Amino acid sequence: MIKTVKDINIKDKKVIIRCDFNVPIENNKIIDDSRIKANLKTINYCLKNNCKIILMSHLGRIKEKSDLKKYDLKIVATRLSELLKRKVKFVNETRGKLLENEINNMKNKDIILMQNTRYEDLDGKKESTNNADLARYWAGLGDVFINDAFATLHRSHASNVGIAALLPSSIGFLVENELSHLEELKTPEKPFTVILGGKKVADKIGVIRNLAPKVDYLLIGGGMAFTFLKAEGYEVGKSIVDLDNIEFCREILQKYSSKVVLPVDIRVNQEFSNDGNLCIKDITELSENDIGLDIGDKSVTIFKNILEKSKTIFWNGPLGVYEFDNFKVATDDILKFLVDKKIKTILGGGDIVASLHQAKLENDIYYASTGGGATLEYLEGKILPGLDKI
């Protein structure tokens, strides 16, 4: 059984919480703080329990020295402090005397956020390869460990798996909430429909294999659809195609012919851009210069007819290039439809959740998961390394 915060003794303890503060930053401003907000419940629970709280998180990827400034976590300490209405002491170190002294001087209910855990990746990827010395050092800073970073559960890093193996550990409220919603997809109320979009077929092979036998309908849109359409023999022009996975798509189409639904029309352009010679074409009419960037209106209607009679929906990946206003039409339209019809919908993956935020529907959907890869791997039926030692 995975332990939750209520299963371990944290009262008056020095608690290390692995958070997910991997927020989008533009021009030195956090443009979406929902990830910070998602960790507040666990932090507040530790405050109520009179803990000394040491927060850790990654931010972005650190490959070279120039990434350090870009992914400095200090900006998060400032925002977190505003949200909690109390001081959050930022320590610009991931290990060393300064960090140790600050922790030694902590009083109950003090909060420290240490620098980005991935600063340790600059010198031999110590965080991302779960370096044993680093894990031991970090574990030595606290008494108990709470993992509340759902989006990195599929990774075996020092700041999650490494520390969890060495201290009494549990998951936090965010991870508990995520898991309970994803569990609902294991015994969904039927009809159960999965919508898959986005562009990378390769990332979704495991999920398709695991979910296809359980679903009633599998609706395919986005760039992914073109690999399936190509496997059916259609001309897809210059649309994105994953040549390595055409055979896989053919196999799925044959095995689950009554469940898989592909678009019948496509919003096309002649260049990968928001503007140009835009039109909607039936899938039989695409020419060699067309680039399919969204699904068309007839496809949206077919999808809606299926979704309307569904009782549970899981959706990963946008149906078009939602970053371009002219090609987010189908994604937005179907998101609004699901919200209006109040159909139980669980969204998983960064891009579809970003579409939801863009459409300002985040308060209206049944559930939006904070995980991308972690959500997909959980639904593939894999044991996530971040849960293994808890």
**Which residue in 136, 43, 139 sits closest to 85, CA to CA?**
43
Instruction: Name the active-site residue from 35, 199, 230, 328.
Output: 35
CB of 207 to ligand AMP, least distance (A): 11
Stretch that binds ligand AMP, among 61-69, 97-105, 155-163, 320-328 (CB under 6 A): 320-328
The DSSP code for 21 is -
Identify whether the C-beta of residue 270 lies closer than 8 Å to the C-beta of residue 276. Answer: yes
Among 293, 347, 368, 384, binds ligand AMP (CB under 6 A): 293
Rule CB under 6 A: say whether 320 interacts with ligand AMP: yes
Q: Taking the mean position of all CA atoms in its chain, how far away is CA 270?
A: 31
Q: Does 325 bind ligand AMP (CB under 6 A)?
A: no
Q: How far is the CB of 217 from ligand AMP (least distance, A)?
A: 19
Residues binding ligand AMP: what is the number (CB under 6 A)? Answer: 18
Q: Which range in 64-72, 199-207, 211-219, 361-369 contacts ligand AMP by CB under 6 A?
A: 199-207
385 touching ligand AMP, by CB under 6 A: no
Q: Interface with ligand AMP includes 200 (CB under 6 A)?
A: yes
Residue of 348, 352, 332 whose CA lies nearest to 340: 332
Quote the least distance from Cβ 370 to ligand AMP, whole Å.
15
The first and second tokens of residue 326, run together, are: 């002219």
Which CB sits closer to ligand AMP, 164 or 252? 252
Task: Report the interhelical angle of 246-255 vs 201-211 (nearest 10°).
Answer: 20
Does the protein bind ligand AMP through residue 242 (CB under 6 A)? no
Q: Residue from 237, 292, 348, 385 that binds ligand AMP (CB under 6 A)?
A: 292
Which of 142, 162, 172, 222 touches ligand AMP by CB under 6 A?
A: 222
> How far apart are alpha carbons 10 and 168 in whole angstroms?
10
In one letter, which amino acid is 306? I
Question: For residues 326-355, b (16+ Cβ closer than 10 Å) or e, as one string?
Answer: bbbbbbbbbbebbbeeebbbbbbbbbbbbb
Active site residue 350: yes
- List the structure tokens of 155: 């990774």
Which of 142, 162, 188, 198 lies at the binding interface for ligand AMP (CB under 6 A)? 198
**Alpha-helical regions (H) of 237-276:** 246-255
Q: Does 351 bind ligand AMP (CB under 6 A)?
A: yes
Q: At 382, is the secondary structure helix, strand, or coil? A: coil
- Residue 79 CA to residue 256 CA, distance in Å, equals 48
Q: Which residue's CB comes closest to ligand AMP?
A: 198
Residue 91 burial (C-beta neighbours within 10 Å; 0-12, 13-18, 19+): buried
From 41, 89, 109, 200, active-site residue: 200
Q: Which is nearer to ligand AMP, 165 or 354 (CB)?
A: 354
Taking the C-alpha atoms of residue 94 and residue 117, their distance in angstroms, rounded to an integer, is 6
Toward ligand AMP, which CB reaches closer, 176 or 203?
Answer: 203
197, 320, 350, 386: which one is catalytic? 350
Tell me if residue 314 falls in helix, strand or coil: strand
Radius of gyration of the chain (CA): 23
Structure-block tokens of residue 1: 């059984």
Nearer Cβ to ligand AMP, position 145 or 248?
A: 248
CA angle at 20 for the pair 18 and 26, rounded to the nearest 5°: 140
Q: Is 154 in the site for ligand AMP (CB under 6 A)?
A: no
Q: Which of the ranges 104-112, 170-178, 184-192, 198-206 carries the binding residues for ligand AMP, by CB under 6 A? A: 198-206
Q: Which is nearer to ligand AMP, 24 or 191 (CB)?
A: 24
Tokens for 59, please give them. Answer: 């931010």
Q: For ligand AMP, which is the closer residue by CB, 88 or 182? A: 182
Assess 194 for contact with ligand AMP (CB under 6 A): no
User: Which residues are tagged catalytic?
Assistant: 35, 200, 350, 373
Q: Which residues are at the interface with ligand AMP (CB under 6 A)?
A: 197-200, 203, 222-223, 240, 292-293, 317-318, 320-323, 349, 351
